[in-house]
Structures are given as C-alpha cells and as structure tokens.
Amino acid sequence: TPSHSFFHLTFSKFISIFSPIQNMSSSSSLQLQASSSKSNHHDHHHQQQQPLSRYESQKRRDWNTFGQYLKSQNPPVPLSNCSFNHVLDFLRYLDQFGKTKVHLNGCIFFGQPTPPAPCACPLKQAWGSLDALIGRLRAAYEENGGSPQTNPFAGGAVRVFLREVKDSQQKARGIPYKKKKKKKKSYQVKGSTSSTAQTQQSAYVNQQDS
C-alpha cells in the first residue's frame, strides 16, 4: 500500500543516516579506548624507567661484580655456597685496583701523611671504600633473597678484617682516627642547672603560699 511504502522508505532513510553516526560513535569509542590504553602503558613504562639513585646504582654494580667474581672461580661458586672466606678473598682481590698508597713497614715514608717523594709501596683499596662496599653488598644480599642469619657480608670475620685494614692504613699513612667524644659533663651541668632552677621555683611558690 502507499502508506506502507512511505513508511518503508522513511525507515530506510533513517537507517542510512543513523548507520554512519553509529559507526562514527563506535570508531570514536575504540579510538578513546586505544588512547587510554596507550596512555596507561606509557605511564606504567615511565614508572618502570625512573632513574635509580646514585647509591642504588652503585649497589647494583657492586652486586653484579661480586657475582661475576664468584663465577670466575675454579670451580664457580654458587651464591648459596658463598661464605665469609669468599668475601675476604674478594676484598683482597680488589686491592689490585686500588688507588691509595699504603706504605710498607720498612718504607722511609711510613707514617707520613704527605710524603715528599714517590716510593715503590703498593696501591690498595682505602679502608673507607671497603667499608662502604661491604655495607652495600650486605644490603644487596638480603634484597636478593638472602637470609640475614646467613649473610656472609655481616659476619664477625669480615668486621675483624675491616678493623685490621683500618688500623694498618692509619699507621702506614699517618692519618689518625679520632672518635667523637660524648659531652657528658655539659649534659650533667645542664641537668643540674635545670634541677636547681626547679628547686628555686618550688621554694618561691612555697613562700608565696605561706
């Protein structure tokens, strides 16, 4: 019928107009989703790529160096079998890369902090560098799954070794190590002064009350 044909024609036009709009809407939605996904991926990637601090970077390098040292042994030493002896051998091994002049006992410049001429005494790692290195490796060991109870960098033998290196280098280089003294006397004076002031204040209050 004419009315039916008119309705069918009108509906067909509506569909032809609505379909591109629907396609545009779907396309825009997909573009927004893709843009959002790309943005989230970029943010996540940016968070992962944040630069490490100087301490963290050095700690990672030290840990990798120690791991390579264990692998270079004959036979290679697994990290699970590492002991304080391997740590001590590693510290001695590093002496060949040292830059600190440590005078031998028979050197004429032994005990002089600023020798006037060069000598044939060896260069070694400074005690401060070794002490800081052990601190970083001790932390890295536990951060990589090691137990604090079995940490080879925290053993008493390592502490004794570092203390001996410090003492010998102090004597050889003539650089004394001075401990900071606690100011106990000044603290006691402050405490006694405060107590005296409180006593005087209490006496004044009692006089006012009487």
Domain holding 102: CATH number? 1.10.150
Residue segments in the chain with a per-residue pLDDT below the cut of 50: 2-4, 6-7, 9, 11, 13-15, 17-18, 20-21, 24, 187, 189-194, 196, 203-205, 208, 210
Confidence at residue 50, expressed as pLDDT on a 0 to 100 scale = 79
Helix then strand then coil, % of the chain, to nearest 5:
70, 0, 25
Which tokens belong to 47?
């968070």
Task: Establish if 24 belongs to a structural domain.
Answer: no
Average pLDDT, the chain: 78
- Summarised one tens digit per residue, pLDDT across range 43-100 is 555 556 678 899 999 999 999 999 999 999 999 999 999 999 999 999 999 999 999 9
Instruction: Provide the domain count of the chain.
Output: 1
Task: Establish if 102 belongs to a structural domain.
Answer: yes
Task: Establish if 78 belongs to a structural domain.
Answer: yes
Confidence at residue 52, expressed as pLDDT on a 0 to 100 scale = 82
Task: Establish if 162 belongs to a structural domain.
Answer: yes
Confidence at residue 106, expressed as pLDDT on a 0 to 100 scale = 93
Question: What is the gyration radius of the CA atoms in the chain, in angstroms?
Answer: 37
Confidence at residue 152, expressed as pLDDT on a 0 to 100 scale = 97
Task: Establish if 47 belongs to a structural domain.
Answer: no
Confidence at residue 210, expressed as pLDDT on a 0 to 100 scale = 45
d(CA 155, CA 9): 91
Confidence at residue 108, expressed as pLDDT on a 0 to 100 scale = 95
Confidence at residue 178, expressed as pLDDT on a 0 to 100 scale = 64
Supply the range of the domain harboring residue 109: 54-173
Asked if 82 and 155 touch (Cβ cutoff 8 Å), the reply is: no
Confidence at residue 139, expressed as pLDDT on a 0 to 100 scale = 97
Sequence-distant (≥ 6) Cβ neighbours of residue 146 within 8 angstroms? 79
Task: Establish if 11 belongs to a structural domain.
Answer: no
Confidence at residue 121, expressed as pLDDT on a 0 to 100 scale = 95
Task: Establish if 12 belongs to a structural domain.
Answer: no
Terminal-residue alpha carbon distance, the chain? 120
**CA angle in degrees (0–180, nearest 5) for 89-133-81:** 45
- Torsion angle of the four alpha carbons 55, 61, 63, 65, in this order, in degrees rounded to the nearest 10: -150
Task: Establish if 42 belongs to a structural domain.
Answer: no
